[in-house]
Amino acid sequence: MSIQEREDAHTSGLYQKRPLAIVRGEGALVWDAYGNELIDCVGGQGSANLGHGNAAVADAIAAQARTLASCTELFYNDRRAELYDLLSSLLPSELDRIFLCNSGTEAIEGALKFARMATGRTGVVATMRGFHGKTMGALAATWGPEYREALGGAALFPGATHIAFNKVEALDAAITADTAAFVVELVQGEGGVRPATNEFVREAVRLCRERGALLIVDEVQTGFCRTGAFFAIERYGIVPDILCLAKSIAGGVPMGAIAFSRRVGDLPKRSHSTTFGGNPLACAAAVAAIGEMRRLDLARCARERGEQLQAGLRGIESPRVREVRGLGLLAGIELKENAGPTIKALQDLGVLALGAGPTVVRYLPPLVITAAQVELVVAATATALAT
């Protein structure tokens, strides 16, 4: 039986899979089961910023697995302490407390819970087209109604509302004395690769401070050098009350983190926990991954390769293109038609890309992608749009 047949025999059926089995990766390249090479602009949906097969991360995982893989936060641990120190050195000084978890959606779940506990309020404001995960609490902040259809469109999180993204005037009516938190992505990834405007973000900061709500910034996809800075909040010059991180934090090993300020207050003991969060194996991987991000200066790489990619996409002359958007090495090309056929054509040309809504092709490659590889991506996109 083929890999595809073996998976199809037992898979949950929840994923819409492409008929392609990826078995190996190196840098920004992956290979399928037949040995075909492809440029990876899916990038583990943001978890492969450091690229595939990084030796330093692999060595750290192997060494830690032979030493101690599991140690819950019932006890102290050297690798966890090392990661706390490292993250605190990268984050704004105000975000000096960190809860380690296992994924982005878990980070959002915890952040929403922290905000409600800290403020005693129930209201949560999010944005249209925003994506924050699909578990029950996170799904309330996620915009897409299609994700709730199987649940009968149930109100999963009473008090959750959505406003238009980048509409400054909508913030004043939405953030009130009943609002526990405003949660926002600085670049909407799944929602079409839409960067927030400075005006929108700064007004959100002002109103949250004025009205006692907490600002939650979701950097699950934009964190760890993706936008041309270690965190996108640096590009906007803001410090939220709660910052959600995940995806590339541990070089591909599942991990998430919630960094929060003293405005959140003291959270009740045992009010939140996780068995695997902050385990030594993931912490060792994260320490190694962040070290490699610094050594390779991936923030600079994201700026330079992102500028190259976006300039190349903007240079494609096609009546099918509506707009090119992005920040750093997170880019999207919006078409005047469904993006599915173009994504399929790109795959046939040796480039893996993502959708971001029905009409947007999203490029999320490892930040180690080379200039020559970016040129091939642009050339393949031009060819795909010409057919």
> Do 150 and 277 reside in the same domain of the chain?
yes
Last residue of a domain, one of 243, 263, 295: 295
CATH at 122: 3.40.640.10
Strands 29-32 and 22-26: antiparallel
> Do 251 and 151 reside in the same domain of the chain?
yes
> Do 116 and 218 reside in the same domain of the chain?
yes
User: What is the per-residue pLDDT across 241-256, written as a single tens digit (0 to 9) for each?
Assistant: 999 999 999 999 999 9
> Do 148 and 289 reside in the same domain of the chain?
yes
- Three-state secondary structure call for residue 257: strand
pLDDT at 152 (0 to 100): 67
Last residue of a domain, one of 232, 262, 295: 295
pLDDT at 14 (0 to 100): 86
> Do 100 and 183 reside in the same domain of the chain?
yes
According to DSSP, residue 27 is labeled B
pLDDT at 153 (0 to 100): 59
> Do 285 and 362 reside in the same domain of the chain?
no
> Within 13 Å, how many C-alpha atoms sit on residue 172's CB side?
2
pLDDT at 155 (0 to 100): 57
- The rounded distance, in Å, linking the Cα atoms of 120 and 123 is 10
Q: Identify which of 112, 114, 240, 120 has the alpha carbon closest to the alpha carbon of residue 178.
A: 120
Residue 195 host element (H or E): strand 194-195
Q: Identify which of 69, 68, 100 has the alpha carbon closest to the alpha carbon of residue 83.
A: 100
pLDDT at 148 (0 to 100): 75
Look up the domain containing 314 and give its range: 3-53+297-386
CATH at 322: 3.90.1150.10
Residue 254 host element (H or E): none
> Do 115 and 250 reside in the same domain of the chain?
yes
Residue type, 84: Y
Token code pair at residue 251: 């070089």
Instruction: Please name the residue that has the structure tokens 């030594």.
Output: 280
> Do 99 and 63 reside in the same domain of the chain?
yes
Q: How many domains does the chain divide into?
A: 2
Residue type, 22: I
Structural contact between residues 141 and 115, judged by C-beta atoms closer than 8 angstroms:
no
Distance of CA 248 to the CA centre of its chain: 8
> Do 29 and 149 reside in the same domain of the chain?
no
Q: pLDDT tens track of the chain, all 387 residues?
A: 899 989 989 999 888 899 999 999 999 999 999 999 999 999 999 999 999 999 999 999 999 999 999 999 999 999 999 999 999 999 999 999 999 999 999 999 999 999 999 999 999 999 999 989 888 888 878 888 778 777 765 556 778 899 999 999 999 999 999 999 999 999 999 999 999 999 999 999 999 999 999 999 999 999 999 999 999 999 999 999 999 999 999 999 999 999 999 999 999 999 999 999 999 999 999 999 999 999 999 999 999 999 999 999 999 999 999 999 999 999 999 999 999 999 999 999 999 999 999 999 999 999 999 999 999 999 999 999 997
Instruction: Please name the residue that has the structure tokens 């819970």.
Output: 113
> Do 272 and 193 reside in the same domain of the chain?
yes
| C-alpha separations of 204 from 156, 169, 209, 215, 251 in Å | 24, 10, 9, 8, 32
> Do 230 and 218 reside in the same domain of the chain?
yes
Angle value at C-alpha 101, between 114 and 104, nearest 5 degrees: 80
Last residue of a domain, one of 260, 278, 295: 295
> Do 97 and 189 reside in the same domain of the chain?
yes
User: What is the per-residue pLDDT across 163-184, written as a single tens digit (0 to 9) for each?
Assistant: 999 999 999 999 999 999 999 9
Helix spans in 248-363 (H): 280-295, 298-314, 340-348
